[in-house]
Structure 1
Amino acid sequence: MIFLATGPVFGAASNDPDWPCIQRKVPTLSPGVMWPHPMPENGLTEETRAAVEETSDILALRRVTLEEAEAAVARAEVAHPEFGRAEYGAIFARVFDRLNARRNELMDGIARYARNQARMAENIEALRAQMKRLESAESPDFDRIDKVEAELDWHERIFTDRARSLRYVCETPVLLEQRIYAIAQMLLARVDE
């Protein structure tokens, strides 16, 4: 539970060769780490279920700040004073499922991103080898050298730009983990009152 509250404290190498991030790859999250109570299976009334769905839909939106999420939970608490562990647990379960699904999609995308970068690096190395061969020829074809050099520059620029954006891309799953944890704490504060 603490690993999410303190931010990205990972840093261990991953066994996944497609994982390019500094943060250790945590393939699956467990809701039980963040929500210490049993998850409700059923038992919500129609009205309560609608309120749970509405509140969880708001909380699962990444564009909604944590302050706005807190306000949405407070509105639900005022509108439904009967909310207890089951209702807040149901809200958490729905938020967890949605944000964890997004996190999994992002992590799959990061792996694809890394594979594409590896292919691009191989292509750059092949172009460098081709340049070396062309330049060391007995009678160099300067037009061909210029063409390969332009292509090499283009690929290197794309590779470098993508490598720079990798830090942001790698932070996104961590930000989702932190959001899930913060929402769990927000809801638990009401359960434990």
Structure 2
Amino acid sequence: MPGRFFLTDPVSDLTGALGVPAGTVGNEPARQNIAPGQEIIVFDGALTRMRWGIVPVGRVNARGRPVMEQIINARSETVFDKTAFDGVGRAVIPVNGWYEWTGEKRKKTAWRIAPKGGGFLYFAAITDVWTAPGGLQVSQVAAVTCEPNADVAPIHHRMGVLLEPADLNTWMGEDLDAVKALMVPWPVGRLQIEEAVGVNWDGP
């Protein structure tokens, strides 16, 4: 949908793929299990770090009621219509892939989803800044989701909106019609899906 990411290629590979410097991001060890609430590398024209999950303090729904739950994924069908998303920015979450689960509780199977041939996937995302108690400002990000393609549909009813490298600037640009045109399922046949084994779900 996604519920967990992984980023295992070196940051230097990412900077080369995007043609940008690492800036303040620096390097980091391979991360097999990135969970909501953790910091993640984000591209918003430059590489930076943001907290995965938008704490919707001060945001209200269409009825004027406070939004209470943390937002880690936002539906593409409503992300530009809901009052809860007023004023958000747009960025990209670059990762090597993500995980989904199938099966009953305590008998779930984890699936690892990555691009065929390796490399990066670029998830469309929205951003926000939360002013925490004491005045600390926390940059936050949430992935945008859409209907699944035929590859992902057997294991989940949603998938992240994935972007071609050539479309990253369009996603972060001012042409809203062009942005909306990108929020479609990824072409079939370009993902490798296999059972995830050997992942420590309690650690990085």
Larger RCO, structures 1/2 (Cα 8 Å, 6+ apart): 1
Please indicate, yes or no, whether the TM-score normalized by the shorter chain is above 0.5: no
Report the TM-score, using the length of structure 2 for normalisation. Answer: 0.24
Q: Which has the larger radius of gyration?
A: 1
Larger fraction in strand: 2
Larger fraction in helix: 1
